[in-house]
Amino acid sequence: MRNIKLTIEYDGTRYLGWQRLGDSDKTIQGKIENILTQMTSSKIEIIGSGRTDAGTHARGQIANFKTNTTLSLAEMLAFLNRYLPRDIVVKKVEEVPERFHARYNAIGKKYSYHVCNDVIPSAFERHFSFQYSEKLNLELMNEACQKLIGTHDFIGFSSLKKTKKSTTRTINELSIQQEGSMLHFTFVGDGFLYKMVRIIMGTILEIGSGTMKLETIDEIFEHKIRSDAGMTVPSQGLFLDEVYYRNETKSIN
């Protein structure tokens, strides 16, 4: 039995998210599994590194699946990109050890969030950024980013209900790059809770616009209450850019 790892890029605009949903054909996982089943003539289920919400995009989602196919890596790559919708592209196909698991072996992730900060919205960026017209204080937002870096209990910055699992995560990088009216936020960490990036983004933007105080971040860490944090920003500005693993393998791209 072969274990195949895929690196996937997708525009999530017209999908209900990553995770397969019953008979719906509007999920990324469902679309890929259908093509893999056709390719191998056997039922294929793929394991993703994690779920992305409806409307969220990816430049580097990772998935793996088991198969007995004798097709080469090049043949698999060509088949997938021939028959998948044009808004889903497999960038790389790798053969990995039998025990590799896209979700459980991940040691970190990189996300980006994009904000169009202009009173006049962009027709071209509407599916790939959050159109936010409020005047923003970049210096305050950078201070907010610094407060969020490190190891903390981020339950107050998530939409998780009660859970027995740890909600402590480490953010290694949270930075802002400005390009005209576009603001590009980069998040790198060992893992992210449900809607954590989008809630952190909402909090940073509300601090930047003056509707929330910088010290609120400390209060959220202390009280662990979701309602103390900012809005949950829309999903279309969010990209899963990269998933980190310890070992690399032979690949074709």
CA distance 205 to 197: 12
Please give the backbone phi and psi of residue 225, each rounded to the nearest 5 degrees, phi first: -115, 120
Q: 41 in the Ramachandran plot: left (φ > 0), alpha (ψ -120 to 50) or beta?
A: left
Quick one: 160 exposed, middle or buried, by C-beta within 10 A (0-12, 13-18, 19+)? middle
How many CA atoms lie within 13 Å of 225's alpha carbon, on the beta-carbon side?
5
Kindly name the residue from 53, 87, 153, 218 that is annotated as catalytic: 53
Best CA proximity match to 12, nearest among 87, 116, 90, 83:
87
Query: Quick count: other Cβ atoms within 10 Å of Cβ 105?
Result: 19
Coil, helix or strand for 42? coil
At position 109, the amino acid (one-letter code) is K
11 in active site: no
CA distance 169 to 200: 13
CA distance 238 to 158: 15
> Where in the sequence numbering do the catalytic residues fall?
53
